[in-house]
């Protein structure tokens, strides 16, 4: 198992997605590589960005697709969905250029969320097939739902396509009070869960106002000692990324981020290679 740091931890609107901060400071972080999160501001600049990132010597085993892909899956009418496919292919080309193997993907989003489940499933499987053509493993993420909760959708997608992989994010799992149920879903832990997002949540069931700010792991309501014990029990062999933000306008706060990563390293213990 390897522990990564999502670039969404320190890149965002506050600093204009300045990936030069990553190439300058990334080597100081106590992680095995990075999950690179795609922002719309980088469209048209992908080649230049990939060239600098790859030239830095940093590793990018995981790519997080543009979050708006999930919005498109949920809400675009059928006659406009080709725009999502085009965007998806641009994301896949960037992921492949960075040397990623896994592509974390929001498989629903705003405004319709999981309202039109049958259409959503069909589109997810279509995008998965396209990703496979690039040699990439699309991993659907358990983002917050408005209609149901992620687990029933994971079950149905797994029934339709047993090879589909998933990312479990502890924050929406706690938001839906579903982390325990996800851990108890044995079929998911036999190779379907291939990546984890590790952050925290402090609030009640589906309390939308509590989604922000995002606490660091161990500083919210997620029972991390219990979750670490579960991962060890099932001998989890996938990967994981720190997801809790630590944003600055003009520098990468590697000192604080390393305290988050060190907490996770200690908890994951012998699972880490």
DSSP secondary structure letters along 193-254: EEEEEE----SSTT-GGGSSSPPPTTSSS--HHHHHHHHHHTT--SEEEE------SSS--H
Q: What is the pLDDT of residue 239?
A: 99
Q: What is the pLDDT of residue 112?
A: 97
* CA pair distance 152, 215, nearest whole angstrom: 27
- Across-strand partners of 64? 37, 104
Cβ atoms of 5 and 29 within 8 Å: the answer is yes
The model's pTM is 0.97
Cβ atoms of 128 and 85 within 8 Å: the answer is no
* Domains of the chain by residue range: 2-271
Q: What is the pLDDT of residue 84?
A: 97
CATH value of 2-271 in 1.20.1740.10, 3.20.20.150, 3.20.80.10, 3.30.930.10: 3.20.20.150
Compute CA distances 209 → 95, 106, 148, 202, whole Å: 33, 20, 18, 10
Cβ atoms of 243 and 199 within 8 Å: the answer is yes
Q: What is the pLDDT of residue 229?
A: 99
Which stretches of the chain score pLDDT less than 50?
Answer: none
DSSP structural state of residue 15: G
* CA pair distance 64, 5, nearest whole angstrom: 12
Q: What is the pLDDT of residue 273?
A: 78
């Amino acid at each position: 198992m390897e522990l990564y740091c999502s670039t969404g931890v320190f890149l965002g609107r506050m600093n204009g997605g300045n990936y030069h901060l990553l190439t300058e400071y990334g080597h100081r972080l106590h992680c095995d590589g990075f999950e690179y999160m795609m922002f719309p501001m980088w469209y048209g600049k992908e080649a230049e960005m990939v060239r600098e990132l790859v030239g830095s010597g940093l590793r990018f085993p995981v790519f997080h697709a543009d979050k708006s892909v999930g919005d498109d899956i949920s809400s675009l009418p059928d006659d406009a969905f080709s725009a999502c496919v085009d965007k998806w292919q641009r994301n896949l080309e960037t992921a492949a250029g960075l040397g990623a193997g896994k592509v974390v993907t929001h498989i629903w989003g705003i405004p319709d969320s999981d309202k039109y489940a049958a259409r959503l499933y069909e589109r997810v499987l279509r995008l998965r097939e396209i990703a496979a053509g690039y040699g990439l493993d699309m991993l659907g993420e358990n983002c917050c739902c408005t209609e149901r909760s992620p687990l029933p959708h994971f079950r149905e997608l797994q029934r339709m396509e047993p090879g589909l992989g998933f990312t479990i994010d502890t924050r929406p799992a706690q938001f839906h009070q579903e982390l325990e149920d996800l851990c108890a879903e044995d079929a998911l832990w036999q190779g379907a869960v291939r990546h984890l997002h590790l952050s925290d949540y402090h609030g009640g069931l589906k309390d939308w106002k509590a989604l922000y700010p995002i606490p660091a792991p161990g500083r919210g309501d997620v029972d991390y000692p219990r979750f670490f014990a579960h991962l060890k029990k099932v001998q989890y062999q996938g990967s994981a990324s720190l997801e809790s933000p630590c944003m600055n306008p003009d520098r990468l706060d590697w000192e604080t981020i390393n305290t988050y990563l060190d907490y996770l390293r200690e908890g994951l213990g012998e699972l880490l290679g």
